Amino acid sequence: MQDQQARNSQHKKNNLIMWIFLGIILYFLITEHWAHIVPFLPWLLLAACPLMHLIMHGGQGHGGHNRHKEHRHDSDADEDRDEGGR
């Protein structure tokens, strides 16, 4: 049990160190190459639109637009109960 806790602790420390180094690397990449990045920002924004569309739809296409037909509203279920389930 203690061995597993020691491994988890070491794993968390390693992850923290990795994220710190990645942050430092990203900072220097952005600051040193900002002049090369700025001309592409409008194109990156346009490229993000289809990517966000795919992510927001969960990669499942447009097949889920008719979900409201599958689920009944609570008011419909109440009316069925009042009429004896007919």
Alpha carbon distance 37, 39 (integer Å): 6
* Short-list 9, 85, 79, CA closest to 17: 9
Is the model more confident about 59 or about 56?
Answer: 56
What lies within 8 Å, CB to CB, of 86 at 6+ separation is 80
pTM exceeds cut of 0.75 = no
How many structural domains compose the chain? 2
pLDDT at site 80 = 56
pLDDT level of residue 59 (50, 70, 90 thresholds): low
The residue segments making up the domain with residue 62 are 39-86
**What is the average pLDDT across 69-85?**
56
Alpha carbon distance 54, 5 (integer Å): 40
Residues 43 and 84 occupy one common structural domain: yes
Residues 49 and 84 occupy one common structural domain: yes
Residues 43 and 26 occupy one common structural domain: no
pLDDT level of residue 74 (50, 70, 90 thresholds): low
Kindly report, residue by residue over 27-40, the tens digit of the pLDDT. Answer: 999 999 999 889 98
